[in-house]
């Protein structure tokens, strides 16, 4: 199943962007998109999937029954993109730009994706990290229109009925979160919905997955963030986070329901789950479903790919380095696991591979002499017994002399 998941990822992220996204942006009234057959009149411009704003020609406006519903001037999508960029650059802060872009996405998908694709370096930090983190913290204020599905722990016995409410019959990629560990911001509960929405926008803009085949989902099991529970505009259920068997029942029923509804080929991506759930849920489902955990496996794939690419430049093999991880959570452990596998593929045995890696967290260097309970089941394999516990990162660097430092607040790789 792991192989199948990777194959599905390759299919989703194949080089079809120009074909799929351009087909979505450069629409035809009588083309492939069935929305143009179903909708007529004011519904055409109210639906973000079919709306093209003032890009509709006079002939198209007459055919679609929208003549007179738009200003008479015809502006091409290219002209509209220039206008949008000018508006963005005139704004005062990135949160304002985020709200502007999500509003555009909610009314004109073709223009939104054309804008993001043509100005990807400018737009990516606005629709995803780092701006999406601030947007999630203030989600109750910036929320304008629902996107995706919200499934609460109280809905766990009728998830298929909720999935049936989603208007698109074919879904190829689902990104879902329970909101417990949103970026580096902690438990944001239902405010974490900004993450699946933003991530799937990148699926479309960067990989060409059609937006109608993407489904963001928030599993709401409550929040332990008292500030959110006191927030009058909080969008989630108002009780402490459920952590008993009801949580596992929700996840189990959810995985079964989405597979029954959308088939085994639908990719189901875990996003921003807490450490205690992320690893155990991945281990439970990765061999039986088309699924992966982005924080553990996705970040690891990017990091190890970066190390391999850097090695071609420095002429230094993976096996030549000493690695120091600053952080010992999901991302760091995922990278270390994949790096250990890569080192073994390059000729080292498991013990030799592990000897190349050190982990350092808020309590210092990971060692077996630490107080019981300070190591997790997944990072304790990287704990050392050949050095003392060092509490300062500077001292660890001086003693261990790493040639690569991997920092996990944001993924940073330093070659020394």
Which tens digits make up the pLDDT trace of 228-248? Answer: 999 999 999 999 999 999 999
**Interval 49-53 mean pLDDT:** 93
Is the model more confident about 211 or about 27?
Answer: 211
CB-based burial label for 381 (10 Å; 0-12, 13-18, 19+): middle
For residue 27, pLDDT over 80 is answered with: no
Q: Does residue 290 contact residue 5 with C-beta atoms inside 8 Å?
A: yes
Q: Pick the range with the lowest mean pLDDT from 4-13, 291-300, 353-362.
A: 4-13
The residue whose two tokens read 């009149």 is 41
- SS3 state of residue 269: strand
Q: Count of residues for the chain?
A: 416
| pLDDT band at residue 407 using 50, 70 and 90 as cut-offs | confident
pLDDT per residue as tens digits for the range 381-400: 999 988 888 899 999 999 99
At 326, which helix (H) or strand (E)?
strand 323-326
The Cα–Cα gap between 46 and 43 comes to 5
**Interval 3-27 mean pLDDT:** 46
Check whether 271 is labelled as a binding-site residue: yes
The Cα–Cα gap between 275 and 225 comes to 17
Q: Quote the pTM value.
A: 0.85
Q: What is the mean pLDDT of the chain?
A: 89
What pLDDT sits at residue 30? 38
| pLDDT band at residue 16 using 50, 70 and 90 as cut-offs | very low
Positive or negative torsion for Cα 125, 126, 127, 131: positive
What pLDDT sits at residue 409? 58
| pLDDT band at residue 17 using 50, 70 and 90 as cut-offs | very low
The Cα–Cα gap between 177 and 229 comes to 19
| pLDDT band at residue 184 using 50, 70 and 90 as cut-offs | confident
Check whether 295 is labelled as a binding-site residue: yes
- Residue 210 has a CB neighbour count (10 Å cut-off) of 20
Check whether 249 is labelled as a binding-site residue: no
Tokens matching residue 53: 């704003």
Please identify every residue annotated as catalytic.
128, 199
pLDDT per residue as tens digits for the range 316-370: 999 999 999 998 888 899 999 999 999 999 999 999 999 999 999 988 999 988 8
What pLDDT sits at residue 22? 41
For residue 67, pLDDT over 80 is answered with: yes
pLDDT per residue as tens digits for the range 99-147: 999 999 999 999 999 999 999 999 999 999 999 999 999 999 999 899 9
From residue 388, give the alpha-carbon distance in Å to each of 125, 129, 366, 375: 40, 37, 9, 15
The residue whose two tokens read 């015809």 is 74
For residue 227, pLDDT over 50 is answered with: yes
What pLDDT sits at residue 19? 43
**Interval 304-325 mean pLDDT:** 94
Domains of the chain: 131-289 (3.40.50.10380), 298-415 (3.40.50.720)
Check whether 231 is labelled as a binding-site residue: no
The Cα–Cα gap between 294 and 163 comes to 23
Q: What percent of the chain has pLDDT over 90?
A: 80
| pLDDT band at residue 29 using 50, 70 and 90 as cut-offs | very low
What pLDDT sits at residue 350? 95
Question: Taking the chain, what is the end-to-end CA distance rounded to the nearest angstrom?
Answer: 38
Is the model more confident about 75 or about 371?
Answer: 75
Q: What percent of the chain has pLDDT over 70?
A: 88
For residue 267, pLDDT over 60 is answered with: yes
For residue 6, pLDDT over 70 is answered with: no
For residue 371, pLDDT over 90 is answered with: no
For residue 183, pLDDT over 70 is answered with: yes
What pLDDT sits at residue 259? 97
- Residue 40 has a CB neighbour count (10 Å cut-off) of 12
């Amino acid at each position: 199943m792991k192989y199948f998941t990777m194959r599905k990822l390759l299919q989703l992220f194949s080089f079809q962007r120009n074909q799929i996204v351009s087909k979505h942006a450069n629409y035809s009234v009588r083309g492939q998109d069935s929305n143009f057959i179903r909708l007529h009149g004011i519904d055409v411009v109210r639906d973000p999937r079919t709306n093209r704003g003032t890009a509709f020609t006079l002939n198209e406006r007459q055919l679609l029954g929208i003549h007179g519903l738009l200003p008479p001037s015809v502006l091409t999508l290219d002209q509209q993109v220039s206008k949008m960029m000018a508006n963005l650059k005139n704004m005062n802060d990135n949160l304002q730009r985020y709200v502007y872009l999500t509003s555009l996405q909610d009314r004109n998908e073709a223009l939104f994706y054309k804008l993001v694709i043509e100005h990807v370096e400018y737009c990516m930090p606005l629709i995803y990290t780092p701006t999406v983190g601030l947007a999630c913290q203030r989600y109750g204020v910036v929320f304008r229109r629902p996107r995706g599905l919200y499934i609460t722990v109280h809905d766990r016995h009728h998830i298929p009925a909720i999935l049936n409410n989603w208007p698109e019959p074919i879904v190829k990629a689902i990104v879902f979160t329970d909101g417990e560990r949103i970026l580096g911001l902690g438990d944001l509960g239902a405010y974490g919905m900004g993450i699946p929405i933003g991530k799937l926008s990148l699926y479309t803009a960067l990989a060409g997955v059609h937006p109608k085949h993407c489904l963001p989902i928030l599993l709401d099991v409550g929040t332990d963030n008292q500030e959110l529970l006191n927030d009058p505009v909080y969008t989630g259920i108002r009780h402490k986070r459920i952590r008993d068997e009801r949580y596992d029942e929700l996840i189990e029923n959810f995985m079964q329901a989405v597979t029954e509804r959308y088939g085994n080929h639908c990719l189901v991506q875990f996003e921003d789950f807490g450490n205690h759930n992320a690893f155990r849920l991945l281990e439970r489902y990765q061999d039986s479903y088309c699924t992966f955990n982005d924080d553990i496996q996705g970040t690891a794939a990017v990091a190890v790919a970066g190390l391999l690419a850097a090695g071609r430049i420095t002429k230094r093999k993976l096996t030549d380095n000493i690695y120091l991880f600053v952080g010992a959570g999901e991302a760091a452990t995922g990278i270390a696991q994949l790096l250990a596998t890569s080192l073994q593929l390059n000729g080292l045995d498991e013990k030799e591979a592990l000897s190349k890696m050190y982990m350092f967290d808020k309590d210092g260097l990971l060692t077996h002499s630490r107080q019981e309970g300070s190591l997790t089941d997944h990072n304790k394999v990287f704990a050392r017994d050949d050095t003392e516990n060092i509490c300062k990162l500077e001292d660890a660097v001086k003693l261990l002399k790493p040639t690569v430092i991997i920092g996990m607040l944001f993924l940073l790789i330093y070659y020394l």
